[in-house]
Structure 1
Amino acid sequence: MKTTIYDIAQAAGVSIATVSNVLNGKGKVSQERRQQILRIMDELNYKPSAIASALTSKRTYTLGLLVPDISNPFFAEIARAVEDEGQRLGYSVLICSTDNKDEKTARYSALLRQKSVDGVIIGTGINELSALSPLLKKNIPVAFIARDYPAEDIPSVIIDDYAGGAAAAVHLIELGHRRLAILAEPDTISSSRERVRGFRETAAAAGVEIEDALIVAASELRDGKQQAALLLSSEGTGRPSAIFCCNDLLAIGALQAARELHVDVPQHCSIVGFDDTILASVTDPALTTVAQPIAQMGQAVVQLLVDHMERPDEPRRRIVLPPRLIVRQSTVPPSQ
């Protein structure tokens, strides 16, 4: 039979009100008595009711996580890292996929508010911050992961996307590539904008200009495959010798397009991804990519959000982590 608060009170020889005060950190309970009650709870394997705790403390110990698409390996790994850290700190996590659409973000924000979540982690691209108004108007704490809104006073955990794009450009230029293309995400995605900017500006500094026609956008694997096919279908000097993809899913689409067009990767076209998800090491060829410290990002954003919830008056923190280039078999010097 499940242990109840009445059992704890009887075993400790105290009132139910005293046990309740210990559970909620309230009332005048001596340290010695508090430790005795906590020890008995542990011995009897007492699990407080989440509903009762929510009613007394106004907290549900539940967090929301908004991501574009949970089927994207990067966001699946982010979700796992957030869930693991949340569980370690005593929180459950509700995950919502928004497809990077403001209307879905607003709808899920309203739903999470109705669920009385304690805070929400935002990993989705948004055009307008008003998509989060159901949360912000109710002062529900939020934090961003892999997205950046530096003008807003909101905690965030990102990597240096500009440096990641720059590292990819340096790698390809040092291999000897001069005709470069970029397969980007939609311009509403702040991280993708910075990756493209880092790649283009670094290439330009090395004397390599990237034509606007060779910068195309796609939002998912199928779109990436289609756009990459257009880039790769040009013959002779029209075809890029290397493509920088702003995430691994787009890079896999480019690999698929190359295979169907009988364009050998990496001999006829090198491909670089971004994220270093689990798929990057199992593609054929294995994918050169810019790695994000996914587990570290997930842990950090949960800690930031919980700190924000517990100390709302303290300044918001913005954590920027360094990327790392992982060289595998999808990049070689261009063929002559």
Structure 2
Amino acid sequence: MSRKVSIQTLADQLGLSKYAVSRALSGKTGVSESTRARVLELARALGYRQNTPGSSGAPTAADQSEPPFALICMNQLNRGEPHYWQRVLSGMISGCNERGWHHAIVSPSLGTGDEHTPPERAIAPHLDWERCAGVIVMGAFPHAVLQRLAQTGRPIVLADHQEPLLNCDTISHDNLEAGITVVRYLLSLQSRRIGLITDDGRAASFAQRKIGMELALNHFHTGQGHTATFREWNVPYEQGEWVNQLAKEIMQMPEDERPDAWIGVNDDIALQWMNKLQEIGISTPQDCRVIGIDNVHSAATSSPPLTTVNLCKEELGQRAIEALQRRIERPGTPKETVMLATSLIPRESA
């Protein structure tokens, strides 16, 4: 008796996932036309026969009428944030729609007893995991959550977060480049005392931007043998009182020691600080320059308009979905880290 040809057989010979082979055989979306052609050609050559309803074979993804979905893991704190994460999410949803995929959004947080629960039930017990094409993780999550996601066996793509211990693809902005850019720009304007307002530990992107700033200060001189000084203020970003506390500290400093240029590690911090400076009688850009990173919509309409570094937020989301499709179709390829380039947008604040 000849050996039965299964979806797993086709997947193994083509170096594809069972999901990709199943979608190709059923004529559904979610795989490229070139991949579909490869699958169909091998299936014909090996004499593969697909199970039909009522047959004794186990049901596969190809037997299901519902399209697959991408599971999007989004931190609960970021769900209502319109300037950055909602725009990244809109790019992901657009990418899913282009492929005929659905999407499901969850905010996983594991309890103490979850280690004895199957990972699918611990993360999202209400979902039909048979239709889950893969997982997109937006931003930072505890390593324990990422490990449980990996245990589901679905391909994972990290968006704007890096986890070296997890073997998965990563799509990020080049935050190091953004940090270098803002400092080099301020140095070109002859700024000598640069202040950074950040929130250590809140996000890996903040830390990467600060490293870029330090690299720029260490490697690029302002000319005539002088280098700029750099001072960091670490503030509790999500607590509004930091603005008043920092303003009080700055007013107690001698004028010749105050920064003549301020960097907000993101636009929201930069905009809040620029408004506060104006309240206490320090104008921008006459008395000091202010620059941010993100290019949120309100940066262009502030008074004065905020100089910033543009991050392609919708594109980040779309590229994450592209990476997930690639991983589905080519599961054995080396993991990838894709960095999206940034660009300076000079405006009146600096």
TM over 0.5: yes
Residues 224 and 254 of structure 1 are in contact (CA less than 8 Å); yes or no, is this contact kept in structure 2? no
Q: Does 1:66 align with 2:74?
A: yes
Residues 69 and 97 of structure 1 are in contact (CA less than 8 Å); yes or no, is this contact kept in structure 2? no
Q: Deviations over 1:38-67 (max 9, x none)?
A: xxxxxxxxxxxxxx9697389742431424
Residues 183 and 224 of structure 1 are in contact (CA less than 8 Å); yes or no, is this contact kept in structure 2? no
Pairing partner for 1:152 from 147, 150, 166:
166
Pairing partner for 1:271 from 290, 293, 311:
290
Equivalent pairs, count = 283
Residues 96 and 102 of structure 2 are in contact (CA less than 8 Å); yes or no, is this contact kept in structure 1? yes
Structure with larger RCO (C-alpha < 8 A, sep 6+): 2
Pairing partner for 1:216 from 234, 237, 248:
234
Residues 65 and 93 of structure 1 are in contact (CA less than 8 Å); yes or no, is this contact kept in structure 2? no
Q: Does 1:254 align with 2:273?
A: yes
Q: What is the deviation of 1:150?
A: 4.1
Take 2:316 and 2:197, find their aligned partners in 1: how far apart are those partners?
24
Residues 83 and 93 of structure 1 are in contact (CA less than 8 Å); yes or no, is this contact kept in structure 2? yes
Q: What is the deviation of 1:162?
A: 1.2
Q: Does 1:194 align with 2:213?
A: no
Percent of aligned pairs with the same amino acid: 20
Partner letter of residue 92 of structure 2?
Answer: V
Pairing partner for 2:138 from 123, 128, 151:
123
Residues 168 and 335 of structure 2 are in contact (CA less than 8 Å); yes or no, is this contact kept in structure 1? yes
What RMSD, in angstroms, separates the aligned Cα atoms of the two structures? 3.4
Take 1:110 and 1:227, find their aligned partners in 2: how far apart are those partners?
42
Q: Deviations over 1:253-275 (max 9, x none)?
A: 21232233232122222111111
Q: What is the deviation of 1:195?
A: 0.6
Residues 221 and 249 of structure 1 are in contact (CA less than 8 Å); yes or no, is this contact kept in structure 2? no
Q: SS state of the match for residue 92, structure 2?
A: helix
Pairing partner for 2:331 from 291, 297, 312:
312
Take 1:54 and 1:181, find their aligned partners in 2: how far apart are those partners?
58
Residues 158 and 171 of structure 2 are in contact (CA less than 8 Å); yes or no, is this contact kept in structure 1? yes
Take 2:277 and 2:91, find their aligned partners in 1: how far apart are those partners?
33
Q: Does 1:323 align with 2:337?
A: no
Q: What is the deviation of 1:231?
A: 5.7
Q: Does 1:85 align with 2:72?
A: no
Take 1:326 and 1:108, find their aligned partners in 2: how far apart are those partners?
44
Partner letter of residue 140 of structure 2?
Answer: G
Partner letter of residue 118 of structure 1?
Answer: A
Q: Which moved more, 1:219-228 or 1:150-159?
A: 219-228
Q: SS state of the match for residue 64, structure 1?
A: strand
Take 1:75 and 1:108, find their aligned partners in 2: how far apart are those partners?
25
Take 1:194 and 1:143, find their aligned partners in 2: how far apart are those partners?
19
TM score, norm. by length of structure 1: 0.72
Q: Does 1:240 align with 2:255?
A: no
Partner letter of residue 282 of structure 1?
Answer: T
Take 1:266 and 1:131, find their aligned partners in 2: how far apart are those partners?
45
Q: Deviations over 1:125-168 (max 9, x none)?
A: 24x42222331111222211122234532111112211110110
Take 1:174 and 1:293, find their aligned partners in 2: how far apart are those partners?
25
Aligned to 1:183: 197
Pairing partner for 1:204 from 207, 218, 224:
218
Unaligned segments of structure 2, at least 5 residues: 1-24, 29-35, 45-59, 222-226
